[in-house]
A and B are shown apart, each in its own frame.
Chain A
């Protein structure tokens, strides 16, 4: 089974599908053993089986799968070796043999079971809306309101909705009153759960009287209680009121000098209030449902807890540089004579701590927090990112709420499932992922948008699968995934121990989630890994997935750079430089391990095709915005990293090494000599400055940007208006072809990428130039000062891929 097929069926990609038997031999392989798991993978149809078909090992509770050995009504659990009885009662009339339960069918490596349990509450969609829009942005606010109202119609009918708006202060809107009432809370104060429920008149959790009433009806109203109902209601009941409230929302800005101050915005308090409110409302039913906090943020948090910058404009927003400096300096800084206002570095530390608390509250409720940002400047995502990282929320970053990026991404957020006009949202709520592995594999951790759960103490076999080494969210074999959509992909890292006399090791993913229908489901994916002799290099190579390997390496590297992962455990700070150095070292080790070369002879260096792409990927990874934060704001870095942590292998690859398609006027529309077909398809070209051309249109896809770059000649023609003349229909088609292609990409991408249409030499072309491998930079062209020739120089000091590789080869071959 090749990697793509497995990914389609099981949603799993492994870095090595064949692993050496011994632990030591495996360690020599440099690349970590890991799996990229996409639980809600929708690339193939998954069987849904009723609860009765689920067979669990009586000892370790692992689920029976096609890989178990069945012998005389007995199946042996591969994870613990326990033998379980298999009740066979159906007889195939044709063969007169007992029919194996569907779970054991060959095709059932991934199956989904209905557990028969329903969530007691429909999913929650809680809106947290910024109302700090100053005079000029009123249109933007209007547009935001429209989007919000549209979104109400996209929700499932029974979804619970609630609304909090904030400016300098936080307002919780009462949905049942026709008077448009709201309860307000001080934006500069941190409320406790107790204070909040008291001031709203909610009973403290534990004192809820409805607890007893649950027996004869656990309807929404019963669970929420009379007062709680004001704030959380099924959308089909309150759609009218909510629409009214949203339409009538007033901005909450306090007078401030436009040239001296930022508006006061208490984002932190709003998030805190929202999480506390839901906590108070759900009370005992805290774990009963999943849902989303939808936060719409129009600017930096400047007031109250979680503020990232003072509201005086003279104080600049923190940059990567400030953050790095603050982390390093332990000595009091020397007095400075500079008159420049310094960034208050204490702010982001305290802000991160504050948001951490909110995160843990949300995670405990199984709610995810999504950020929709409409701001030209930073809003403090860097401080808040933990909330969306750990709860699996999405982040959409746009310049304004009136942009298509926001509007369409937001609508796409409520995408329905593809199959037969399904009413169900294409997402899973409040999920947990548990990983089981055979005894020679241990789980080191997970890197992705999830939070570690404590190890289950009631199952000794769960504990056994946990490795001592911790990577990412580790020390456990189960994680909370508050929000999962079909793209959500998690990187799992395994430690390989010495294997016994088995030919396979197994990993089982138990993905328990709330289906959009409210049903609780369990999806089980079992993946076999072949154990090969230590000396078997052929199979090792065959089982090596360099793309998955790259993504696993990348996630690990990026994860190391997350601020909390370094600070919390008092580890030495891992700087960008250290990470890059580590990547380089890995690459050298990798090349040393897998390349073929004669020591001392540079030209003799060879890598087989299964390994050959990795160095190039790593080169681009080093230059990518995930590692290289230069020229990015902390918010942008947070954003791109967050998206990276969410996407599957293919999309991750695009992010690391953008794809470049080329349309050439000279070949476009020509008839292919061999097939006789008209060539309208673009030609994928190298991400290299050599691919530029005056007569070409280039289509760059970096995942975040879609860029169409017109060569000089093409642009001139277009400006001359040739495409409008009937005799140049061909040229018109040529111009439109890349746009069609771009639209197709735009269609199913979330969040919507930024679309850039530019001409050669134009200012926007910089997005393309920055991505290209500078094989022709001015550094390599001695004549650049004279404008020599028809070259496309990239103005950069970066090394090109060629010289990078040459260097690596030199190091590798120089070794003895």
Chain B
């Protein structure tokens, strides 16, 4: 639901609300799946919710842009920053009584903007933090869907972080060990539908005769086991439902019996094992990386109450019996250096192996150790690691990274898999699977399609095999590339991506400036790991089926790992992973029922406990095109289009991909316009107006930004590694980060008010000031903070007010030129503006970039005309057209882009044949229930 309208300051919205209420509101209510009459939601009947009528009534109407000639970023309706701000304020500002608005998952239909912070109340269907659908009114049939040209997909983030004030994800013991061994194995563990294996969820309909009906497949004859039976109350609900989270929550973890273990009931699930794979080649030593890694490992293992974080006091184990995550170190250059960390040793032992053809695990005891038990030995090992930097001997210039990966895999194989966190400083050219620079003969030109295919796709057989083994053995790989030159991410990135790992890349590494960010990334690799041995399965109502997974092993084509629509295996899981799943129709949805989704992620948590995370989503089914449009979710749609497009990199030339993004946009808008003209607002059609679907107002700017993103931008200056690093990150990053990556936040420091940029003490909400539009024309001579989801930039104009500069950087600064270009944080000063600025950075680092350990550090200083990074900063101003070598003709400014879009729609509608097709598709979708006679009237 377009939340622009919810903002009381928006006069348009108020106007539209009134008219909308008359015509459509009733119908909406009828369609609302959460009405008590449908007996779907147990809460409606016995819970009193605050009146959210105001919110619900703010239904969308077509937005009309009056004059194409005065199109500009200042237009409030089109401003994405305004939209984000308004949406944010709605949830993060308290009302007069000091209460904050919550998002109720059943009552409030469309989720808040992805970038918003909000407090969600789980009412039996999951909040958008965990699962976000592209449509909250799902078209009942393919033809209706086709008329919207919008994809149906869900984007799941299984381990989304929750606010401290929100209820944690409940853990339900579903081991049901007391079931006799002779029983049917299918009846062991969680209650599931016998036909489609859906896990028990709030939408199961229990009957009085000990059976239940599955909400996904409608199979009515499931038998409730005796130990789970319960009496129903007067309204047909189980009386124990409120004591059982799996019967009233949208998201919950189920403890499962040993039969669900990876490798069968005989295999004992182990706590998560980590391997640090550290590059100690010449290039790495030159950049002092071993020192940083050692620091990062120390920080990960020994600072703060890391171990306590993992410790769930509700678990039945006593603290001293608690199993812990284990760690191992392997360093590599031309050979592999294993560290024996056994707590029985006084100091570590380094074991060097140079047999790369037949890698093997040199020892077992002392390979993986508990961080506390082996503290001294680990410390010794880290010291040795640091000493690599001070050694006089010449380090090897080549590395055997891939053989190292294989060896690490062998180490992890014995413990059921685990996570490799690797540092790579140079192209691995030694040993088996050695990579070569992919020579790009098209430097300075756009590569030919064939060349692109070669540049962007996996072509190393060793890596392909390694990838298969990694997935099979549940080994995940995080790669942190710190290299000024290419390391061939088309191969290495692929490997990391299919195993659920993350990729980070830094080409212009400076020890002083970037050390801290790298440390934070490594800490994240360990701390954000939320499990391993994952298997994801999405189940959905009859009529839909899974068509494609993005961001997992099964989405990467050209791997024989698993087929493209098989349920993905995700070797390692982390908090930031999101999976987009595209759906297709294999039948028709019933409008009498809702559309149910259940994403079940079977995984082993870091402590070695086997669980299933169940995420349920209930959305309505509609037979009306408007509903489909009006309840579409912009963020999810952008995510889906981005990921779908990216999955074709390497198969199709980038030019085609960019074109297809454009034509997709034109299609959607054309369909919408056609719908508006035909069904309801025929009178209002004005050819010089661009009609925006209210829920998709910002689709053009997002897609424009996407076309300009490094991953697919039309530019000859971007190396394939840069493209691929972004590409692989975009495939799995959280939606809000993707939104920021496409369209950054830009905070103007000199104009923020006193009260802004503060953390709310009670619930941690941050009052983020309103961003400026990301365009050079908005940059004044002042200081700005920009966050693009990956980095935080502080832009200081050389002619900024010196008072402001002094307040931010300290009194000793006399001019902007004096500032140390290598600072990575704003100094802690007693001024209010300094605190605000640092708060803003901290908020970005923690919630958007996801490097919470950085606090308010890790910034990049940008001074136009002084710092080289200005160039990079300019590229982020997506509303501007890019100049020079940054891009070529396709990088239009926003206004031009919109007018081009408008033209394209007009051309499409005016062209007879295509216009007819469009019209017909809309008509068909609208009227396919009608009689032949009625249909003829339309023609």
Residues in chain A within 8 A of chain B (CB atoms): 167-169, 171, 174, 177, 179-189, 191, 195, 199-200, 247-248, 250-255
Contacts of A183 in B (CB 8 A): 351-354
Min distance, Cβ A613 to any Cβ of chain B, angstroms: 57
Whole-angstrom CA separation of A250 from B362 in the bound complex: 12
Please state if B384 and A199 are interface contacts (CB–CB under 8 Å): no
Contacts of B362 in A (CB 8 A): 169, 171, 184, 252
Contact of B355 among A168, A181, A186, A251 (CB under 8 A): A186
Please state if A250 and B344 are interface contacts (CB–CB under 8 Å): yes
Contact of A253 among B338, B355, B365 (CB under 8 A): B365
Please state if A185 and B363 are interface contacts (CB–CB under 8 Å): no
Please state if A186 and B344 are interface contacts (CB–CB under 8 Å): no
Please state if B358 and A184 are interface contacts (CB–CB under 8 Å): no
Confirm or deny: B18 has a beta carbon within 8 angstroms of a beta carbon on chain A.
Answer: no
Please state if B350 and A180 are interface contacts (CB–CB under 8 Å): yes
Whole-angstrom CA separation of A227 from B206 in the bound complex: 76
Contact of A188 among B338, B342, B347, B360 (CB under 8 A): B360
Whole-angstrom CA separation of A186 from B352 in the bound complex: 11
Please provide the chain B residues from 327 to 375 with a CB less than 8 Å away from any CB of chain A in the complex: 335, 337-338, 340, 342, 344-355, 358, 360-366
| 14 pairs from A and B in contact (CB 8 Å cutoff) | A168-B363, A169-B363, A184-B353, A184-B362, A185-B355, A189-B358, A199-B335, A199-B355, A248-B345, A250-B342, A252-B363, A252-B365, A254-B363, A254-B414
Give the nearest-CB partner of B367 in chain A. Answer: A254
Contacts of B345 in A (CB 8 A): 248, 250
Please state if A252 and B347 are interface contacts (CB–CB under 8 Å): no
Q: Is the interface of B mostly helix, strand, loop or mixed?
A: loop
Known contacts: A186-B358, A252-B363. The answer to whether A180 contacts B352 by CB under 8 A is no
Whole-angstrom CA separation of A250 from B338 in the bound complex: 14
Residues in chain B within 8 A of chain A (CB atoms): 335, 337-338, 340, 342, 344-355, 358, 360-366, 384, 387, 414
Min distance, Cβ A681 to any Cβ of chain B, angstroms: 53
In order of increasing CB-CB distance, the 4 nearest A-B pairs are: A199-B354, A184-B362, A181-B350, A254-B364
Please state if A253 and B347 are interface contacts (CB–CB under 8 Å): no
Please state if A252 and B364 are interface contacts (CB–CB under 8 Å): yes
Contact of A184 among B338, B342, B347 (CB under 8 A): B338
Contact of A182 among B344, B352, B355, B387 (CB under 8 A): B352
A-B contact count (CB 8 A): 80
Contacts of B340 in A (CB 8 A): 250
Please state if A255 and B364 are interface contacts (CB–CB under 8 Å): yes
Contacts of B350 in A (CB 8 A): 177, 179-182
Whole-angstrom CA separation of A171 from B363 in the bound complex: 10
Please state if B338 and A180 are interface contacts (CB–CB under 8 Å): no
Contacts of A195 in B (CB 8 A): 355
Please state if A179 and B384 are interface contacts (CB–CB under 8 Å): yes
Give the nearest-CB partner of A172 in chain B. Answer: B352
Contacts of A171 in B (CB 8 A): 351, 362
Please state if A181 and B349 are interface contacts (CB–CB under 8 Å): yes
Please state if A180 and B349 are interface contacts (CB–CB under 8 Å): yes
Contact of A248 among B338, B346, B387 (CB under 8 A): B346
Interface-centre pick from B361, B365, B414 (highest chain A CB count, 10 A) = B365
Min distance, Cβ A253 to any Cβ of chain B, angstroms: 6
Min distance, Cβ A43 to any Cβ of chain B, angstroms: 48
Contacts of A181 in B (CB 8 A): 337, 349-352
Contacts of B344 in A (CB 8 A): 250
Give the nearest-CB partner of B356 in chain A. Answer: A199
Whole-angstrom CA separation of A189 from B354 in the bound complex: 13
Min distance, Cβ B485 to any Cβ of chain A, angstroms: 26
Min distance, Cβ B377 to any Cβ of chain A, angstroms: 10
Give the nearest-CB partner of A186 in chain B. Answer: B360
Please state if A250 and B354 are interface contacts (CB–CB under 8 Å): no
Min distance, Cβ B772 to any Cβ of chain A, angstroms: 55
Whole-angstrom CA separation of A696 from B426 in the bound complex: 82
Whole-angstrom CA separation of A71 from B363 in the bound complex: 73
Contacts of A251 in B (CB 8 A): 365
Known contacts: A179-B350, A182-B349. The answer to whether A250 contacts B355 by CB under 8 A is no
Min distance, Cβ B419 to any Cβ of chain A, angstroms: 20
Min distance, Cβ B219 to any Cβ of chain A, angstroms: 43
Contacts of A188 in B (CB 8 A): 358, 360
Min distance, Cβ B763 to any Cβ of chain A, angstroms: 48
Other A-B pairs, 8, CB within 8 Å; known A183-B353, A250-B345: A168-B364, A169-B361, A182-B350, A185-B355, A186-B360, A251-B365, A253-B365, A254-B361
Min distance, Cβ B217 to any Cβ of chain A, angstroms: 43
Min distance, Cβ B22 to any Cβ of chain A, angstroms: 73
Please state if B363 and A180 are interface contacts (CB–CB under 8 Å): no
Whole-angstrom CA separation of A293 from B345 in the bound complex: 27
Contacts of B347 in A (CB 8 A): 180, 248
Min distance, Cβ B363 to any Cβ of chain A, angstroms: 5
Whole-angstrom CA separation of A182 from B362 in the bound complex: 11
Contacts of A184 in B (CB 8 A): 338, 351-353, 362
Interface-centre pick from B338, B346, B364 (highest chain A CB count, 10 A) = B364
Give the nearest-CB partner of A200 in chain B. Answer: B354
Contacts of A252 in B (CB 8 A): 362-365
Whole-angstrom CA separation of A180 from B342 in the bound complex: 14
Min distance, Cβ A768 to any Cβ of chain B, angstroms: 44
Whole-angstrom CA separation of A247 from B344 in the bound complex: 11
Min distance, Cβ A688 to any Cβ of chain B, angstroms: 55
Contacts of A169 in B (CB 8 A): 360-363
Please state if A185 and B365 are interface contacts (CB–CB under 8 Å): no
Min distance, Cβ A789 to any Cβ of chain B, angstroms: 62
Whole-angstrom CA separation of A168 from B349 in the bound complex: 17
Whole-angstrom CA separation of A174 from B365 in the bound complex: 21
Give the nearest-CB partner of B337 in chain A. Answer: A181
Contacts of B358 in A (CB 8 A): 186, 188-189
Give the nearest-CB partner of B354 in chain A. Answer: A199
Give the nearest-CB partner of B353 in chain A. Answer: A184
Give the nearest-CB partner of A249 in chain B. Answer: B349
Contacts of B351 in A (CB 8 A): 171, 181-184
Min distance, Cβ A428 to any Cβ of chain B, angstroms: 37
Interface-centre pick from B354, B358, B361 (highest chain A CB count, 10 A) = B354
Contacts of B355 in A (CB 8 A): 185-186, 189, 191, 195, 199
Give the nearest-CB partner of B346 in chain A. Answer: A248
Contacts of B365 in A (CB 8 A): 250-253
Contacts of B366 in A (CB 8 A): 250
Min distance, Cβ A24 to any Cβ of chain B, angstroms: 63
Min distance, Cβ B495 to any Cβ of chain A, angstroms: 24
Whole-angstrom CA separation of A195 from B353 in the bound complex: 12
Please state if B364 and A250 are interface contacts (CB–CB under 8 Å): no
Interface-centre pick from A174, A199, A250 (highest chain B CB count, 10 A) = A250
Contacts of A187 in B (CB 8 A): 360
Contacts of B361 in A (CB 8 A): 169, 254
Give the nearest-CB partner of B415 in chain A. Answer: A255
Give the nearest-CB partner of B341 in chain A. Answer: A250
Whole-angstrom CA separation of A251 from B366 in the bound complex: 9
Contact of B348 among A177, A180, A199, A253 (CB under 8 A): A180
Give the nearest-CB partner of B342 in chain A. Answer: A250
Known contacts: A250-B340, A250-B342. The answer to whether A185 contacts B353 by CB under 8 A is yes
Please state if A255 and B360 are interface contacts (CB–CB under 8 Å): no
Contacts of A191 in B (CB 8 A): 355
Min distance, Cβ B391 to any Cβ of chain A, angstroms: 10
Contacts of B335 in A (CB 8 A): 199
Min distance, Cβ A169 to any Cβ of chain B, angstroms: 5
Give the nearest-CB partner of A170 in chain B. Answer: B362
Contacts of B342 in A (CB 8 A): 250
